[in-house]
Amino acid sequence: MAHTSPSGTAAAAAVPQGAGQFVSDWSSDQRVFKNIHWGKAFMWIFLVSDTFIFSCFLLSYMTVRNSTKVPWPNPSEVFALSFGGQPIPLILIAIMTFVLISSSGTMALAVNMGYRRDRIKTFWLLVATAVFGATFVGMQAFEWTKLIQDGVRPWGNPWGAAQFGSTFFMITGFHGFHVTCGVIALIWLAVKVLKGDLDAEKKGPLTERKYTYDIVEIVGLYWHFVDLVWVFIFAFFYLW
């Protein structure tokens, strides 16, 4: 006759079965989510919803481009800049991409320094990221100005399919708006860091929740998302 040890019986009884297992798993997951910063959870929800919006824009752009019977303007010609009388294709777009990708590096370092509670380095890295972002927006404004002067409008352009202008201004404008919001958030956060509000864990003006260095990572999530979206815009709009 097999002998069952008391410890084995207790272990078997400790493992819930059926509905009990489901309740145990669900409550465990709830406990895990309770340990996540509320701002980080909401930022992920926002980023997922924003992903759907940008995906719809890019899918609409590809549908329009594939369905039009009029030749699509050549990006190498449209976005070329002349230096010394020689047009260089996509040179401004390449610089914009380099600047924005570089800002991801400074943002990652800012998050690292934030969790080390190095206030001064976190501040300067946030400032550097904001400068990169503002530079990107400035170059995008120059790009828009040049195209408008060349005759590009939402309803037409001198090079080909009329839909080029509307899709270009819609997609790059929506992304530029996100970058601008990110720059404003970075400047606000840099001021909070410099004042020592995160070290002192001061409460916000409209909430009882305290500011901590977790907010640096939360803003970093948004900034990395904006950078990632630009990679897709660059690939589909400028290289295709």
Percent of the chain with pLDDT over 90: 68
Over residues 27-49, the pLDDT tens digits come to 555 444 556 677 888 899 999 99
217/194 Cα distance (integer angstroms): 16
**CB neighbour class for 64 (10 Å; exposed up to 12, middle 13-18, buried from 19):** middle
DSSP 210: B
Over residues 150-161, the pLDDT tens digits come to 999 999 899 999
pLDDT above 70 (res 20): no
Nearest to 134 by CA among 91, 189, 186, 173: 186
Q: What is the dihedral of CA 152, 158, 163, 168, to 10 degrees?
A: -40
Nearest to 198 by CA among 144, 117, 140: 117
Encode burial over 202-230: b for 16+ CB neighbours within 10 A, e otherwise: eeeeeeeeebbbbbbbbbbbbbbbbbebb
Nearest to 115 by CA among 194, 222, 199, 195: 199
Six token digits for residue 190: 């840099």
Residues 6 or more apart whose Cβ sits within 8 Å of residue 62: 236
Six token digits for residue 168: 């270009």
Helix or strand or coil: residue 118?
coil
Query: Is residue 221 within 8 Å of 40, Cβ to Cβ?
Result: yes
> What pLDDT score does 85 carry?
80
What kind of fold does domain 37-239 have according to CATH? Four Helix Bundle (Hemerythrin (Met), subunit A) (1.20.120)
pLDDT above 90 (res 84): no
- pTM value surpassing 0.85: no
Element (H, E) at 83: strand 81-83
Angle at the Cα of 173 from the Cα atoms of 167 and 176, rounded to 5 degrees: 140
Confidence of residue 234 (pLDDT cuts 50, 70, 90): very high
